[in-house]
A = this chain, B = another copy of it.
Amino acid sequence: MGFVPKNPQPALAPVDRAILRLLAQDARMPNNAIAEAVGIAPSTCLTRMRALREHGVIRGFHADVDPAALGLGIQAMIAVRLHAHTKERISSFTAEIPRLPGVIAAYHLSGADDYLLHVAVPDTDALRDFVLDHLTAHPAVAHTETSLIFGHMRGESVS
């Protein structure tokens, strides 16, 4: 086994990994607190954090807002299958996805389904309207399958 080569990374210093772990846990942790926790000076910590941002290791800092508090009490995963792939149609579809109202994330997948859409909507009526108006009606879409999300949990490792 092992047909695909390993993926060695340009090497990330242990200090940087520690900084990332802390920021992934609490993105509003003050720079000097991070510095103290990882054992470097605040100015050094700032330099490293900036480098991590500039090199794309840190993509951004986001508040995790409960969709239900915004009136979006229903979440769903929608598997989307596209018609035999015309690149233009597909790219028009993919370009529209992140702008659709209620889309939390979209995943481009291998396998039978082409896309997986994570959406949050106010109620089941809105879910039906979302699928009918934005997916079924789209010329690139061949088939969709919607599953309600009963609950979800963040992993303790990455992201």
Contact = CB atoms under 8 A, between A and B. Distances in A.
Q: How many copies does the complex hold?
A: 2
A1 B118 CA distance: 24
A62 interface: yes
A87 to B, nearest CB: 14
A46 B39 CA distance: 29
Contacts of A56: 66, 69
B64 A58 contact: yes
Interface in A86-119: 94, 97-111, 113, 116, 118-119
Interface of A: 1-9, 12, 17, 20, 23-28, 55-74, 77, 94, 97-111, 113, 116, 118-120, 122-125, 128, 145, 147-159
